[in-house]
Amino acid sequence: MGRLFGTDGIRGVAGRDLTAELAMDLSVAAAHVLGDAGAFTATGHKRPVAVVGRDPRASGEFLEAAVVAGLASSGVDVLRLGVLPTPAVAHLTAALGADLGVMLSASHNPAPDNGIKFLARGGFKLSDTVEDEIERRLGERWDRPVGAGVGRVREAYGEADRYISHLLDTLGGRLDGLNIVVDCANGAASVVAPEALLRAGAQVEAIGARPDGLNINAGCGSTHLDKLQQVVVSRGADLGIAYDGDADRCLAVDHTGAVVDGDQIMAILALAMHEENRLARNTVVATVMSNLGFKLAMREAGIEVVQTAVGDRYVLEAMKADGYTLGGEQSGHVILLDHATTGDGLLTSLHLLSVVARSGRSLRDLAEVMTALPQILINVKDVDRSKAAAPELSEAVAAAEAELGETGRVLIRPSGTEPMIRVMVEASSEEQASRVAGRLADVVRSACV
């Protein structure tokens, strides 16, 4: 059995890969590991406290029940937050003084999938070491509390307002006059995102905001921007915002329907923070997937770029280690560490909209700060991701890099959650990038089976 934890928690098809039994066992092990590590001390509680949230997937109902049962049977008091974004659960873990947070979501994956993400005190993601210890202690024998020792469970659905208030408190001004369309992916942000934007002063039309448990990410949200683009243009809106299923990231479209990706959003925020002397150490943290055009734009503005491996957890580690305040990914995970412990799509969108409102410039104009080099990404599915360093593939990558020279780059990356290898190529022309990426994808298919 391989490692359960991927780059962002544990994911799989709910009921088959991610069963109620596994969810319960993981929760028990997590309670024991964090307790042994001293995470449950100095909180003032007679028993440790956990907060549990989920996105609106149908499978989240039985998985939530299993997680709550595992925690309470381990002697942990549980606050059930209901349907909320991942960053809301992270914020409330800290704001409510909880010892542990649990989020049930598979983010941008289709409805049959689900996942479990654990958060430590303060709302931070767990390290690889702690995750490995949770796996090691799965199924171990333990002394079960009884009577007054078992955890108690109560609903805390009203805490959503605490999260919205936190978001609004981070803004320096209102969004009056902005006409926006927001696509909530029929996911966790379906209620809180429109409410937060309305309370900030924007005129809001919400789409993808009627979750039924099965329609999350289905032709909507940050992975399917077509509908948002159409509505923004047809309504004459100033711009559109799209979240993913658990709303830990966002993308945008300008008034013409053109996509504004995570690199462009980070560039806009970095420049605004730089001008206001709020960009710590004059540095932004990005991953190796960020477009070379982003790095060139930041260099032109006198802003340093620190690169990490792919995954917002690695971005966060670099930010915490060296005191940076802004980082993120091209996919739209953006971390504003002064205000959040993880990527937060709602927070990001509010601050992006705030720059638009304060500057009086259109999102299209602001996004022109960077010119993206042509970038082709091919997801080669149903391959052995452990063979991403196969000699045949390494030779092909070396040849491609020699062909591209200094005008492009190649990145081969195995997926952290699926049997897939991602092939990314940047080049001076889209034709060259597409040709080289296609050639490398063929090598992956033959060498990684």
Residue 107 is among the residues annotated as catalytic for this protein = yes
CA neighbours closer than 13 Å in the CB half-sphere of residue 378: 21
Query: 234 CB contacts (<8 Å, ≥6 apart)?
Result: none
* Structural tokens at position 29: 């092990």
φ, ψ at 357 (rounded to 5°): -65, -45
Q: Choose the catalytic residue: 59, 107, 349, 415.
A: 107
Catalytic residue numbers read 107
